[in-house]
């Protein structure tokens, strides 16, 4: 506990857990108690609220704004990510999209070949930017395609940060010179994503348990290290819905400690945490 931290009773901790589960599907374990205290104490201090009971009452009252309710969620998400995380996924993606380009691209309403990828739970953006950098540098012709990456997250703070596309140079640690060379380096200690790559990405704040504004189909879905924060029934529901918007020849990439649970009729495992769609063309939604 830090000196300014506000004490949290068992009853209050249970109410925090219940609220987060209801609004974000996130299950907090008892091990997260210290994290809850330190992160929410900062939020409460800004509001001049000195107890968790008062804070929870405030969130339930008409006095709290949408931003106050959002700040509760933002404070409790875990946003760890990095460029090229689990890079075997990107090798697979490059090969998959190579086949899409060579075989039978879908043609969009605008007459251009269409490619759609979703980074669901994109955090501060390293995942969707890695997708864009890998694909555009390998297949420059995609610049002429109707190619869009949807990058979404429930946490509005990380989405705003992601949309800026500016990171400290330390993010290059561990990247090969070939990968590091793609970033722009303005000389002020930051690295930036080249416009020709960042412009393919649409950033959006989206709770995966609210209605989705997009029907797909997606040629690839990255939903990595997101479901680990949900309990089993919630994970099953999420992967089932993702299966419905994945293209029949599409792939879904998930985190190293995750699996699709009861959705074995929708996906087949084709590689380490890589799933191919088992849905037929007719069942797939087409927007």
Ligand X SMILES: C[S@@+](CC[C@H](N)C(=O)[O-])C[C@H]1O[C@@H](n2cnc3c(N)ncnc32)[C@H](O)[C@@H]1O
Binding residues for ligand X (CB under 6 A): 24-26, 77-81, 85, 121, 123, 127, 153-155, 158, 207-209, 224-226, 229, 255
CB closer to ligand X, 77 vs 284: 77
CB closer to ligand X, 114 vs 224: 224
At its nearest, how many Å lie between ligand X and the CB of residue 61?
Answer: 24
CB closer to ligand X, 81 vs 198: 81
Q: Which residue has the tokens 């020709």?
A: 196
- State how far the alpha carbon of 17 is from the alpha carbons of 26, 27, 56, 198, 267, in Å: 8, 7, 11, 36, 31
At its nearest, how many Å lie between ligand X and the CB of residue 168?
Answer: 17
Please, are residues 149 and 131 in contact by the beta-carbon 8 Å criterion? Answer: yes
At its nearest, how many Å lie between ligand X and the CB of residue 211?
Answer: 12
CB closer to ligand X, 55 vs 222: 222
**Residues in Cβ contact with 80 at an 8 Å cutoff, skipping those fewer than 6 apart:** 123, 225
At its nearest, how many Å lie between ligand X and the CB of residue 70?
Answer: 11
CB closer to ligand X, 12 vs 153: 153
- State how far the alpha carbon of 130 is from the alpha carbons of 81, 85, 126, 164, in Å: 11, 9, 6, 15
At its nearest, how many Å lie between ligand X and the CB of residue 53?
Answer: 25
Query: Among all residues, which ones are annotated catalytic?
Result: 39, 153
**Residues in Cβ contact with 126 at an 8 Å cutoff, skipping those fewer than 6 apart:** 81, 82, 83, 85, 167, 171
| CA pair distance 284, 217, nearest whole angstrom | 7
CB closer to ligand X, 140 vs 213: 213
Look up residue 286 and give its two tokens: 């087409």
| CA pair distance 272, 234, nearest whole angstrom | 22
Number of other residues whose CB lies within 10 A of the CB of residue 196: 12
Q: Which residues pair with 251 in a beta bridge?
A: 220, 276
Look up residue 192 and give its two tokens: 């930036």
At its nearest, how many Å lie between ligand X and the CB of residue 262?
Answer: 19
């Amino acid at each position: 506990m830090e000196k300014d931290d506000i004490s949290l009773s068992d009853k209050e901790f249970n109410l925090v857990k219940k609220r987060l589960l209801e609004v974000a599907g996130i299950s907090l374990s008892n091990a997260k108690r210290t994290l809850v205290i330190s992160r929410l104490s900062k939020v409460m201090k800004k509001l001049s609220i000195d107890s968790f009971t008062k804070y929870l009452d405030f969130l339930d009252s008409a006095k709290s704004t949408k931003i106050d309710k959002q700040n509760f969620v933002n404070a409790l998400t875990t946003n760890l990510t990095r460029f090229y995380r689990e890079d075997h996924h990107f090798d697979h993606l490059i090969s998959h999209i190579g086949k899409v380009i060579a075989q039978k691209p879908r043609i969009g309403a605008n007459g251009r070949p269409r490619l759609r990828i979703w980074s669901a739970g994109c955090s501060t953006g390293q995942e969707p930017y890695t997708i864009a950098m890998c694909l555009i540098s390998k297949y420059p012709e995609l610049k002429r395609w109707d190619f869009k990456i949807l990058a979404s997250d429930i946490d509005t703070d990380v989405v705003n940060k992601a949309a800026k596309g500016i990171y400290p140079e330390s993010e290059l640690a561990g990247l090969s010179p070939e990968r590091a060379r793609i970033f722009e380096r303005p000389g002020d200690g930051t690295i930036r994503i080249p416009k020709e790559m960042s412009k393919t990405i649409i950033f959006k704040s989206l709770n995966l348990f609210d209605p989705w504004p997009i029907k797909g189909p997606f040629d690839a879905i990255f939903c990595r290290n997101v479901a680990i924060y949900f309990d089993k029934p919630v994970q099953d529901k999420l992967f089932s819905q993702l299966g419905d918007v994945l293209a029949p020849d599409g792939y879904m990439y998930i985190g190293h400690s995750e699996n699709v649970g009861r959705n074995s009729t929708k996906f087949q495992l084709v590689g380490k945490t890589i799933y191919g769609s088992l849905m037929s063309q007719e069942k797939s939604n087409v927007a």
